[in-house]
Amino acid sequence: MNPNRRAFLAGSVLAGLFALVPRAIGRAMGYPRALNGPMVGASGPDHFNVWVRASGAFDVKLEYSTDRNFSTVIDGPTIRASAEDDCCVVLRAQGLKPDTPYWYRLKYDGQQDRYQWFNSKTRTAPAGPADFRVAFGSCCRIQYDADQPIWNAVRGLEPDLFFWLGDNIYGDSDDPAVLTDLYSRGRVVERLTPLLRSTPQLAIWDDHDFGYNDADGRHPRKQEALKVFKNFWANPSYGEPDSPGVYFRHSHGGVDFFFLDGRYNRDPITKPDNAAKSMLGARQKRWLKGALSASTAPFKVLVSGGGWSSAENEKGGDSWATYMTERNEIFDHIRDHDIGGVFCISGDSHMGELNCIPRSAAGGYDIYDMCSSPLAQMPANKNTRQMPEVRVRDTWTRSVNVGLMHFRMTGGKPSMTYTLHDVLGEPVWEPLVLTPDDLRNGVRSWDSKSDPEELKRLERFKRGGGYYGTDMPEGWPDRPFTGKASG
């Protein structure tokens, strides 16, 4: 056969095959299944929630069982996915036993997902005080790191809960379609999906998943951003009926967690830092004060996207360092109402930090701030130009990281042990141990719990030198260090 004729026929056959590809893809895309998920959301002693994004507007059904083989099937709810919610649904299994493992599976338009033939497993929360672990982190940029090896380390730590502290995606946009796309991409990271399917996930946002960098309450499409956030998470609640936002309270194992929204009602960074400037907004702040006053938990954890420490010589930034009046108002409320057991966790800074606000000098107690950042982003060495009130441990900038709180709430005096772990899962510092006795008015603990090297650096800084041994620029500091909380 003529070589040209042979090539022509071969090309025609290939062209015919490629012509069939769009139709084959169309059939595959039309098959009812999960596009993203499943993911376990907020759980309690008698229930757990499962989030999933379906491939179309059809019924999604939850089934669960106390055994792996589903010899006894318990029918859960059926919800119809809708295009209005990007086909995201949250289904609740309820009437369950506390602290009990359950297997679950989903059906899509009456069919099991052919790509998820396995059954997933999770566990209900304990009914009372318990020993448990909470992992947390922030700043997860799939554009920078699509592989995200940190999730191997997180799974190895075996947390009972995982908290996302903001910049969970880097949408950097006011277009809801962009935010939706980034959430969808993030939910199929191979190392992450086993954690999502088994461990309850709770989340707040920060600027890069709320809108643009440093975005505040003036965001023109914040209602749409909130809708996307609610579509892709399964928190226990979102704000209050008369106060939109992502803030909520969650209790687990005898500990109360207060998740804060630092974006929806935030005043501009450039506004003068006085009593009229707010990161939370008046309604959320009133809710927080009331909820703290009502809590009887030995530990009360404030969960914020941005760090709580002053970072005195930092230029720019949008942490609590630029909302010090409001921060100190909250801390004054804690002191004046004798609310014990409060400490803070945060993200955003692109470095692991363990700082302290020495409120014992003002009649309260020392409030610790534990920051984990980033999960999947370039670490930064901003520590060289920042000086919080007290650094309890040196900053960690050598790798991505994840924070771990280990609560021991049974068998005697409650305690919390905090460690920061690197990309290999190794702890990078000596643990910090806190008890309720450390967190009550009149107790000073910051110097006894700080690394000796950090105390030496602090003394050098107080004398006017550089924290890390380099002389400070002329004119710094503007005021001497007193050991008192700023403000």
The span from the CA of 397 to the CA of 385, in Å, is: 14
Do the strands 342-346 and 299-303 form a parallel or antiparallel pair, or are they unpaired? Answer: parallel
399 close to 380: Cβ distance less than 8 angstroms = no
Residue 382 neighbours by CB under 8 Å, 6+ apart: 314, 349, 350, 351
* Residue percentage of the chain with pLDDT more than 90: 82
Q: Flag the least confident range among 70-79, 87-96, 240-249, 457-466.
A: 457-466
Give long-range contacts, CB 8 A cutoff, 24+ apart: 315-318. Answer: 315/385, 318/207, 318/214, 318/269
Distances (CA, A) of 432 to 56, 354, 412, 445, 451: 48, 9, 19, 11, 10
What token pair was written down for 431? 């643990």
- pLDDT at position 108 over 80: yes
What's the whole-number mean pLDDT along residues 354-371?
A: 97
What's the whole-number mean pLDDT along residues 285-293?
A: 98
What's the whole-number mean pLDDT along residues 135-161?
A: 98
* Residue percentage of the chain with pLDDT more than 70: 89
Residue 282 neighbours by CB under 8 Å, 6+ apart: none
431 close to 418: Cβ distance less than 8 angstroms = yes
Task: Name the average pLDDT for the chain.
Answer: 91
Local confidence band at 16 (pLDDT 50, 70, 90 cut-offs): very low
Strand boundaries in 304-455, DSSP class E: 342-346, 352-357, 367-371, 390-396, 402-408, 415-421, 432-434
Report how many helices (DSSP H) and strands (DSSP E) the chain contains, helices first.
Answer: 10, 21
What token pair was written down for 251? 């209790």
What token pair was written down for 459? 């003394």
- pLDDT at position 21 over 70: no
- pLDDT of amino acid 464: 85
What's the whole-number mean pLDDT along residues 385-413?
A: 93
377 close to 140: Cβ distance less than 8 angstroms = yes
- pLDDT at position 158 over 60: yes
What token pair was written down for 228? 């996307």
What's the whole-number mean pLDDT along residues 379-393?
A: 84
Give the amino acid at 191.
R
Q: Which residue has the higher pLDDT, 209 or 468?
A: 209
Give the amino acid at 382.
K
What's the whole-number mean pLDDT along residues 350-364?
A: 96
- pLDDT at position 19 over 80: no
- pLDDT of amino acid 31: 86
- pLDDT of amino acid 147: 98
Q: Terminal CA-to-CA distance of the chain, rounded, Å? A: 90
- pLDDT at position 482 over 60: no
